[in-house]
Amino acid sequence: MKRLRKQTLDGNVGTLVLAVLESGPSYGYKIVKELNERSEGILGLGEGTIYPVLYRLEEKKVISATWRLAENGRQRKYYHLTAKGRKALAANCRQWQMLAVVMEKVLGSAENLLPQSRPKGAVI
Amino acid sequence: MSQALQKYLDRVMIYANRNEKDAAQIRAEQEDHLLKKVADLEADGLSREDAVFRTIEDYGHPRTVGRGLRKRFWWFSLYVLTTIILSVANYFLLLGRFYWFGFLSTWVYTVINFPCSILFLWLENKPNAWWYEVFGHRFEFLFNDEIGILLAGGMLNLLQAMLITTLLLRIRTWQKDRQLSLT
């Protein structure tokens, strides 16, 4: 399966994490799992790479964290969205919608760009 | 916790380069992640050994993970500290040249500021006319050889501090790599 390139992802993983946390508090492992599940594997996020993103978001105060006792008896760090985070997520979503509209207007619909749906000899 | 996971985390934390308090919290979080993943994989039917191997593989190379966990711009504080120490040292060394130990001062200055010191000592002997030639007569009203050498000295100081910081960072990386090869 094809995966997204790092450059395409740069700066956008934060928004994806915020989107996952919108549905409720979660912890690192579960966030990665959910991101990979929701993206059906296209995202292919290295599990260890989620923490720098989480710490950066925490520094920006768009998420905050609390340690709680997990089912295995260990302390687990749960992250949740702050009010600032909700605003940031809404703003980022608007930006993405606008970008998607621009891309579609300029390039045509995404389905037409996939090689298998392009007629033979067609040039993009 | 398996020894392989402990060793893996040791490596990650060496590259992460965080202070003790931060390191303990980060490690606890990473540990929880790895153990949860191993438990999930074991529940999926993998043997303990395979689950640990797969967990480490999915988590990423210790260098990549560890470097990602470093504080952003952590090197900047080292640069600022180097600049301050170097500036103070240079002030006394350059002042010392006017006293009986002047020769020794010049040599110490040359050595700790190499290669920028060579450029500074060369610029220092340039007369007013040379500075006007370089910067044009437009700035004649605010420029003379003393101001010129002060600005040049300041800039060379910043540059030298950058070189020393880079060197210190290289030494630190080399030490970490050596530490890892011994574990």
| Chain A partners within 8 Å of B25 (Cβ) | 77
Give which of A64, A31, A17, A75 is closest to B29, Cα–Cα. A75
Give which of B64, B50, B68, B8 is closest to B33, Cα–Cα. B8
Return the minimum-mean-pLDDT range out of A19-33, A76-90, B52-66, B87-101: B87-101
Encode burial over B69-91: b for 16+ CB neighbours within 10 A, e otherwise: beeeeebeeebeebbeebeeebe
State percent of chain A over pLDDT 90.
48
Rounded to two decimals, what is the model's pTM? 0.67
- Do the Cβ atoms of A51 and B59 come within 8 Å? no
Interface of B with A (CB under 8 A): 12, 25-26, 28-33, 35-37, 39, 58-60, 64-65, 68-69, 72
Q: Give the model's pLDDT for residue B102.
A: 75
Of B26, B29, B33, the CB nearest to A47: B33
- Do the Cβ atoms of A72 and B33 come within 8 Å? no
Q: Which neighbouring-strand residues pair with A63? A: A81
Does residue B159 carry a pLDDT above 90?
yes
- Do the Cβ atoms of B64 and A49 come within 8 Å? yes
- Chains A & B: contacts with CB separation below 8 Å: 56
Interatomic CA distance for residues A13 and A16, integer angstroms = 5
Does residue A1 carry a pLDDT above 60?
no
* Count of Cβ atoms closer than 10 Å to residue A109 Cβ: 11
ipTM: 0.78
Alpha-carbon distance A26 to nearest alpha carbon in chain B (angstroms) = 12
Q: Give the model's pLDDT for residue A115.
A: 59
CB within 8 Å of B181: residues ≥ 6 apart: none
Alpha-carbon distance B60 to nearest alpha carbon in chain A (angstroms) = 6
- Highest averaged pLDDT of the listed ranges B58-67, B71-80, B99-108, B140-149: B58-67
Reported as a single tens digit per residue, the pLDDT across A17-44 is: 999 999 999 999 999 999 988 888 787 7
Does residue B80 carry a pLDDT above 90?
yes
